[in-house]
Amino acid sequence: MAREAPPQTRPSAPDSRQAVVRLLVTLALMTIGTAGMYIMAVVLPAVQADFGSARGVASLPYTIMMVGFGLGGILMGHLSDRYGVTVPLLVGAVGLGSGYILSALASNIWIFIAIHGVLLGTLGGSCAFAPLVADTSLWFVRYRGLAVAVAASGNYLSGAIAPPVVQHFILEAGWRQTYIYLGLFCLVTMAGLAMLMRAPPPAGHSNVPQGKNRPRHLARAAAASDRPFGMSPGRAQLLLSIAGVACCVAMAMPQVHIVAYCIDLGFSPARGAEMLSLMLACGIASRLFFGAVCDRIGGLRTLLLTSFLQMIALFMFLPTKGLVSLYIVSAMFGLFQGGIVPTYAIIVREYFSPREAGARVGTVIMATMLGMALGGWLPGKVYDASHSYFLAFVFCIGWNLLNLAIVGFLLYRSRPTGPTAGAPARAA
């Protein structure tokens, strides 16, 4: 009689204790790997003073890094699909480690900008979102929405932890020495944690839980990978990407402009910074809550709900002028919008082939990053032309409506009857 396989060679199982441990490692990796987008905001004044550059030029490292973050997500997603998530994580560890250290040695602002775009963005931080979200979706079935939300919360958790820690070291040792510390820390910790992610994802399991108790929205999506929403995968991916751009243009506006909006209303910049922190803190709770909602009603319905609530919060900014009411609306905005971006990964896993999860999640995340970049810039142009944040908010509400229209159309296409039910034609 054949001996039972040793524990270390047993195949992985979804929703298992091993999956939960892996999720905790993923949370740590995302918290460390995505800190750069918040660190740059803290180090900006010191970098500007050191290089003697204008504020606009000193702001470019963040912009270029975010562009690299989005583009690199596609590359890292392909690497994850082909070689497993450990490979992009090791590439990211080297990218972040060398990026921070070389940035500390930069002799001028343009070298500093290039390093942020290539090493810290494209080859660094991009490893710590799309590939990890896609990998998490492969390890969970019944609790996939909640698990992806926990993983994605690392991004907001990083925003809560990194800025005060980095600010302390900048005051104690200067920004260049702080960057060297960051580089060594990222290289060692991320490479070590990456080695804990070597186990392959569960094989031989469908996208949905089996049995009579599985949710109907997942049962319908089980056969949808060949014809998502009853259309070609490329067209479905394009519509999801446009929806990602649209919702994140609307999402970014309060996050980027809340401090300037407070100044326009006569309040101090510190009050605006507090409102931003409140948004991010509420965003963590939002991601966890809507992740659980995803497991009950599906990604598309959850995205439609969160996008609608985000639009309500944007409307609430229009008449709000008081300090206390601004804090309340900022908290509500964080609670409503925090769950939006991770929901796209759930939709990809419900309607597309799991073999392409990394690349397709990376593509959608790139679209959301593009939306965030446009959402910081376009409302500013509207404000420059109109000298009114009222019109800037209305402008973003229009983008939110575009997102709602696309998501509603995809939900209609995925209805359970007729030729657009989402299943391949041959399944009939």
* pLDDT tens digits, one per residue of 348-380: 888 988 777 778 888 888 898 888 878 877 888
What confidence tens digit (pLDDT) does each residue in 268-284 have? Answer: 877 887 887 788 888 88
pLDDT of residue 7: 46
Rg (CA), the chain: 22
Give residue 65's pLDDT: 87
Q: Phi then psi for 209, rounded to 5 degrees? A: -65, 145
Dump pLDDT digits (tens) for 82-127. Answer: 899 999 999 999 999 999 999 999 999 999 999 999 999 999 999 9
pLDDT at 145: 87
Task: Give the pLDDT band of residue 10 (cuts 50, 70, 90).
Answer: low
| Mean pLDDT of the region 146-172 | 86
Q: Specify the pLDDT at position 93.
A: 96
14 has a pLDDT exceeding 70: yes
Query: Which whole number is the average pLDDT over 63-77?
Result: 86
Predicted pLDDT of residue 55:
63
Domains along the sequence of the chain with CATH = 19-197 (1.20.1250.20), 216-416 (1.20.1250.20)
Most confident of 60-69, 247-256, 318-327: 318-327
pTM score: 0.74
Average pLDDT, the chain: 84
| Residue pair 156/285 in contact by the 8 Å Cβ criterion | no
> Of 194-198, 206-210, 313-317, 328-332, which gets the smallest average pLDDT?
206-210
What is the mean predicted confidence (pLDDT) over 289-309?
A: 93
Mean pLDDT for 62-70 is 83
Angle at which helix 17-33 crosses helix 130-139, to 10 degrees, equals 170
The pLDDT score that the predictor gives to residue 423 is 39
What is the three-state SS of the chain? CCCCCCHHHCCCCCCCHHHHHHHHHHHHHHHHHCCHHHHHHHHHHHHHHHHCCCHHHHHHHHHHHHHHHHHHHHHHHHHHHHHCCHHHHHHHHHHHHHHHHHHHCCCCHHHHHHHHHHHHHHCCHHHHCHHHHHHHHHHCCCCHHHHHHHHHHHHHHHHHHHHHHHHHHHHHHCHHHHHHHHHHHHHHHHHHHHHHHCCCCCCCCCCCCCCCCCCHHHHHHCCCCCCHHHCCHHHHHHHHHHHHHHHHHHHHHHHHHHHHHHHHCCCCHHHHHHHHHHHHHHHHHHHHHHHHHHHHHCHHHHHHHHHHHHHHHHHHHCCCCCHHHHHHHHHHHHHHHCCHHHHHHHHHHHHCCHHHHHHHHHHHHHHHHHHHHHHHHHHHHHHHHHCCHHHHHHHHHHHHHHHHHHHHHHHHHCCCCCCCCCCCHHHC
Band (pLDDT 50/70/90 cuts) for residue 422 is very low
CA atoms 79, 81, 83, 84: torsion sign: positive
pLDDT over 70 percentage in the chain: 88
Q: Average the pLDDT over 400-424 and give the result.
A: 77
Tell me what the mean pLDDT of segment 24-28 comes to.
96
Confidence (pLDDT) at 254? 86
Of residues 246 and 161, the one with the higher pLDDT is 246
Sign of CA dihedral 414, 420, 421, 425: negative
Q: pLDDT band at residue 416, thresholds of 50, 70 and 90?
A: low
Residue 181 has pLDDT above 90, yes or no: yes
The region of weakest confidence among 49-53, 204-208, 293-297 is 204-208
Distance, in Å, from the CA atom of 64 to the CA atom of 355, rounded to the nearest integer, reads 30
